[in-house]
Amino acid sequence: NAGVTQTPKFRILKIGQSMTLQCTQDMNHNYMYWYRQDPGMGLKLIYYSVGAGITDKGEVPNGYNVSRSTTEDFPLRLELAAPSQTSVYFCASRTGTGDNQPQHFGDGTRLSIL
Amino acid sequence: EDQVTQSPEALRLQEGESSSLNCSYTVSGLRGLFWYRQDPGKGPEFLFTLYSAGEEKEKERLKATLTKKESFLHITAPKPEDSATYLCAVRDSGAGSYQLTFGKGTKLSVIP
């Protein structure tokens, strides 16, 4: 049971480059989330999706874009990389019903912008 | 605005030395408090969900409790393998799509 899979695990980008962080889940979860985690800070929500074709902004969406064409995949796009986007990015998913269902996380993508 | 504060930021324990981690929160209405464990280089791993004051959950050496303003994660006779960062998160009744607000975490080190 793979759960939530994120690729790549590590990446170094130059300022102004673009890239897509991939996230896929095999649990048929409706809800998916993208977070960033900076040293000494809590996880901050970037974007989320409640199902295929539906996305919405979280707390820190500037500089990012997302799409959700299938239930399984929720890629995060950085169009013009900036040093402030150096961070660890986590994708999470949860089932669609029940308050007691937790979010399940992938192991993250560590991104450095130089 | 929801706030989640965890203390201490870091905690060093000798193996077998029991202690507690604190998570205090401010929400308009609590719909769930979640504890996660995060190992270096890994994503958060779910431990417990608590809903109402007085509720308790246990798993091996860990016990989570909840009051109206805070939650405690009690660690009894910890072992080195319990070393990790422990994250607390809350879901507010006003938060759509099961969004969570996370604290900054407590980094626990258990020394043999």
Dump pLDDT digits (tens) for B49-95: 999 999 999 999 999 999 999 999 999 999 999 999 999 999 988 76
CB contact under 8 A, A42 and B4: yes
Residue B33 CB contacts under 8 Å (≥ 6 apart), including other chains: B23, B25, B49, B50, B51, B66, B71, B88, B89, B90, B91
Element (H, E) at A110: strand A109-113
DSSP single-letter state for residue A84: G
For an interface test with B, which of A103, A104, A110 has the most B Cβ atoms less than 10 Å from its Cβ?
Answer: A103
Summarised one tens digit per residue, pLDDT across range A32-76 is 999 999 988 889 999 999 999 999 999 999 999 999 999 999 999
| Residue A45 identity | L
Q: Do B97 and A31 touch (CB under 8 A)?
A: yes
In 3-state terms, what secondary structure has residue B98?
A: helix
Question: Is A96 in a helix, a strand, or coil?
Answer: coil
Phi and psi, residue B82, nearest 5°: -80, -5
Q: Which of residues 23-82 of A touch B (CB under 8 A)?
A: 31, 33, 40-45, 48, 50, 56, 58
Closest in B32, B43, B89 to A99, CB measured: B32
According to DSSP, the residues that pair with A59 across neighbouring strands are: none
Helix (H, G, I), strand (E, B) or coil at B96: helix
When CB atoms are compared, the residue of A40, A44, A102 closest to B34 is: A102
Measured in angstroms, the CA of B91 and the nearest CA of chain A are apart by 9
Q: Which residue from B84, B86, B101 is spatially nearest to B32, judged by alpha carbons?
A: B101
Lowest model confidence (mean pLDDT) among A46-50, A53-57, A99-103, B27-31: A99-103
Radius of gyration of chain B (CA): 14
Residues of B in contact with A102 (CB under 8 A): 34, 36, 46, 49
In angstroms, the CA B101 to CA A45 distance is 8
Categorize the per-residue pLDDT at B97 as very low, low, confident or very high, splitting at 50, 70 and 90: low
